[in-house]
Amino acid sequence: MGSGKTATVAALCRALRDQLSLAVVTNDIYTREDAEFLLRNAVLPPERITAVETGACPHTAIRDDISANLEAVEELEEAVGPLDLILVESGGDNLTATFSKGLVDAQVFVIDVAGGDDIPRKGGPGVTTADLLVVNKTDLAPYVGSDLARMARDAEAQRGELPVAFTSLVAEDGVRPIADWVRARLAAWTAAPA
């Protein structure tokens, strides 16, 4: 919650939109606010952004019952043609949020340094199994007393080989580590389609 998921999505769209055909599905908890933030900031044309309503449970809509999200993805493809990358953002509600493999090919889990530097140590499905763990707002670490080295060590202990990206979106090109990871994943899929 408040870790910068929507800001990350916006930054990714800006970084990748010139090279890839992109779309975004947001899963808000009780408003269309995330979708509207992306629309207001014009990170993509409006027909490439859609919101799914989740009945107070975004984690249900991305994991247990993915119907509405699958439908949203289909509608986006109908509207704008083939897409290279669809970012499905979940509303922030808990550390156990995981995306169904029926909905996504890869999951990025975003936490921030201000939420407590013990989150990687505590683990949980998001931290442990996400294909990429993002630790955001590194610029705030000195102000909230978070130990980035400790977070990196704990993340490695939980995740083994799985990658971790430390980001500060206020920095120039701050989303670069995530954008590079996305490009690498896409290149791998293109080379060896599932």
Listed in sequence order, the residues at least 6 apart from 56 whose beta carbon sits closer than 8 Å to its beta carbon are: 29, 30
Q: Which of 40, 153 has the CB closer to another protein?
A: 40
Whichever of 66 and 165 has its CB closer to another protein, that residue is: 66
Work out how close the CB of 72 gets to another protein at its nearest, in angstroms, rounded to a whole number.
Answer: 11
Q: Is the CB of 70 or the CB of 162 nearer to another protein?
A: 70
Q: Taking the mean position of all CA atoms in its chain, how far away is CA 122? A: 20
C-alpha–C-alpha distance, residues 84 and 122, integer Å: 34
The Cβ of residue 13 has, within 10 Å, a number of other Cβ atoms equal to 24
Nearest to 90 by CA among 59, 50, 128: 59
DSSP 170: T
CB of 183 to another protein, least distance (A): 31
Rounded to a whole number of angstroms, the minimum distance from the CB of residue 52 to another protein is: 8
Q: Tell me the C-alpha to C-alpha distance, in Å, between residue 115 and each of 29, 34, 94, 106, 155.
A: 20, 20, 12, 24, 15
Which C-beta is closer to another protein: that of 56 or that of 187? 56
- Is the Cβ–Cβ distance between 169 and 138 less than 8 Å? no
The residues binding another protein (CB under 8 A) are 29-32, 52-57, 60-61, 64-68, 70-71
Considering the complex, what minimum distance in angstroms separates the CB of residue 192 from another protein?
A: 26
CB-wise, 28 or 112, nearer to another protein?
Answer: 28
Q: How far is the CB of 68 from another protein (least distance, A)?
A: 5
- Which residue's entry shows tokens 């896409």? 186
